[in-house]
């Protein structure tokens, strides 16, 4: 009797043991996608995974390569190679190294700094392994190039930095026809910068020039490097309600949002950092030791007052192009509007989630109209 009982117990435990073993032997992470985003000073490689994994990094000098040994991953094929068109790398290869181990090699054109990190699942994004390959020489050159602008600009010229929201891993809001916010705002941004550069009194620059992600704090840093007199972040709105339409303008609030909808919108825009995979280099966090708090508060107050003046002007002009969602500007805690010394506003041009607005946003003439309106308001804002 006792023996039989033991036998049943041991069979039971054997069964439990087998079922515990199953997930480890049968499952394991799979790579479902590999994406690449090229920025002027770095390339980002993103690997989608079905499960979290462990990895080890190493690099090789000659030829320059970055290696990652991925553990707990199977490839289901001996080797995969992808030729890529990119300023910094030529090829991505994946090789199976025995059981549950895969070697990832990034074939570089020259020596680069590498930074690998994991992003946890968020919204519809899975576990992601992100590798940034950074050209530090180019990065420094870009910063110097930006810092030079305020010194070489003609006297009296105002510098405007236009920030096309989202980019790269972060598509922003998506329309019923799959139009992505990140693409529309870049197109309008390019048109606007072109117009601003034709004026005698303004010179304009974009925070991003292509489809790659820049953390929100970095966008402010870029604007400050240019010595911007005005910062305008471009967006298209999104809603679960497909009927929602219209344009709206937002400014920063340091003491809570003007209303719940503005707070929700700011929270949504601020998640850009999570979706896009913000990895802030230490410089973005560093406080400028030359700035004292009283001076900073004074600057912030003045910038905010100027932002409100710009927003009011823009609302007046925008209503001739599109219906307004609100007749006055709204305020909330938008990270991207936090430059203490630069008047900043965020424009939601229209609702990409509304069929009619999506159709308009895709039209070249509507993009032109928005850009022309913004250009006219900016000129008016700086005065004659």
Q: Which residues bind Zn ion (CB under 5 A)?
A: 165, 172, 235
- Smallest distance from the beta carbon of 294 to Zn ion, in angstroms? 34
Strands of the sheet with 101-108, listed across from one edge: 54-60, 65-71, 101-108, 89-96, 79-83
- Residue whose CB is nearest to Zn ion in the complex, by number: 235
DSSP 204-231: EEES-SSS----HHHHHHHHHHHT-SEE
Nearest alpha-carbon partner for 66 in 33, 32, 43, 50: 43
Q: Which is nearer to Zn ion, 46 or 265 (CB)?
A: 265
Q: Which is nearer to Zn ion, 88 or 164 (CB)?
A: 164
- Smallest distance from the beta carbon of 172 to Zn ion, in angstroms? 4
Backbone angles phi, psi at 153, to 5 degrees: -70, 145
Please identify which residue in the block is written with the tokens 């604007």: 223
Q: Which is nearer to Zn ion, 167 or 343 (CB)?
A: 167
Q: Which is nearer to Zn ion, 138 or 270 (CB)?
A: 270
- Smallest distance from the beta carbon of 182 to Zn ion, in angstroms? 8
- Contact between 224 and 300 under an 8 Å Cβ cutoff? The reply is no
- Smallest distance from the beta carbon of 165 to Zn ion, in angstroms? 4
3-class DSSP state of 44:
strand
- Contact between 163 and 272 under an 8 Å Cβ cutoff? The reply is no
Q: Which is nearer to Zn ion, 129 or 167 (CB)?
A: 167
Q: Which ranges of 126-215 would DSSP assign to H, the alpha helix?
A: 136-152, 181-198
Q: Which is nearer to Zn ion, 158 or 208 (CB)?
A: 208
- Contact between 99 and 54 under an 8 Å Cβ cutoff? The reply is no
What gap in Å lies between CA 200 and CA 97, rounded to an integer? 61
- Smallest distance from the beta carbon of 265 to Zn ion, in angstroms? 9
- Smallest distance from the beta carbon of 185 to Zn ion, in angstroms? 7
- Smallest distance from the beta carbon of 347 to Zn ion, in angstroms? 10
| Cis bond upstream, residue 63 (ω within 30) | yes
Q: How far is CA 354 from CA 124, 234, 242, 350, 366, in A?
A: 21, 18, 5, 9, 15
Q: Which is nearer to Zn ion, 271 or 292 (CB)?
A: 271
For residue 38, the 8-state DSSP code is E
Q: 7, exposed or middle or buried, with CB in 10 Å at 0-12, 13-18, 19+?
A: exposed
- Smallest distance from the beta carbon of 269 to Zn ion, in angstroms? 5
Q: Which two tokens stand for residue 331?
A: 């305020």
Cα 312 to chain center, whole Å? 27
Q: Which is nearer to Zn ion, 165 or 175 (CB)?
A: 165
- Smallest distance from the beta carbon of 346 to Zn ion, in angstroms? 8
């Amino acid at each position: 009797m006792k023996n039989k009982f033991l036998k049943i117990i041991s069979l039971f435990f054997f069964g439990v043991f087998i079922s515990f073993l199953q997930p480890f032997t049968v499952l394991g992470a799979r790579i479902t996608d590999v994406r690449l985003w090229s920025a002027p000073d770095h390339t980002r490689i993103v690997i989608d995974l079905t499960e979290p994994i462990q990895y080890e990094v190493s690099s090789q000098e000659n030829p320059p390569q970055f290696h990652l040994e991925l553990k707990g991953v199977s490839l289901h094929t001996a080797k995969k190679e992808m030729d890529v068109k990119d300023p910094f790398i030529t090829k991505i290869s994946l090789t199976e190294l025995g059981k549950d181990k895969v070697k990832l090699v990034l074939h570089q054109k020259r020596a680069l700094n590498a930074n690998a990190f994991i992003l946890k699942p968020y919204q519809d994004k899975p576990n992601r392994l992100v590798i940034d390959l950074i050209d530090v020489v180019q990065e420094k050159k870009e910063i110097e190039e930006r810092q030079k602008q305020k010194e070489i600009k003609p006297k009296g010229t105002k510098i405007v930095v236009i920030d096309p929201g989202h980019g790269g891993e972060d598509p922003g809001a998506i329309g019923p026809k799959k139009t992505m916010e990140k693409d529309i705002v870049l197109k309008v941004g390019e048109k606007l910068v072109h117009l601003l550069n034709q004026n005698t009194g303004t010179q304009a620059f974009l925070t991003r020039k292509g489809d790659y992600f820049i953390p929100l704090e970095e966008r402010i840093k870029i604007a400050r490097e240019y010595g911007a007199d005005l910062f305008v972040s471009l967006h298209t709105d999104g809603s679960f309600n497909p009927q929602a339409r219209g344009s709206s303008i937002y400014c920063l609030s340091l003491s809570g949002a003007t209303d719940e909808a503005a707070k929700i919108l700011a929270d949504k825009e601020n998640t850009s950092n999570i979706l896009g995979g913000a990895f802030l280099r230490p410089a973005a966090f560093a406080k400028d030791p030359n700035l004292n708090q009283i001076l900073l508060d004074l600057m912030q107050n003045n910038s905010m007052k100027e932002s409100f003046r710009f927003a009011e002007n823009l609302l007046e002009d925008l209503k001739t192009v599109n219906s307004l969602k609100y007749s006055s500007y709204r305020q909330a805690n938008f990270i991207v509007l936090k430059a203490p010394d630069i008047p900043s506003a965020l424009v939601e041009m229209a609702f990409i989630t509304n069929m009619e607005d999506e159709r308009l946003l895709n039209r070249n003439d509507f993009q032109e109209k928005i850009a022309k309106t913004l250009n006219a308001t900016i000129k008016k804002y700086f005065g004659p």
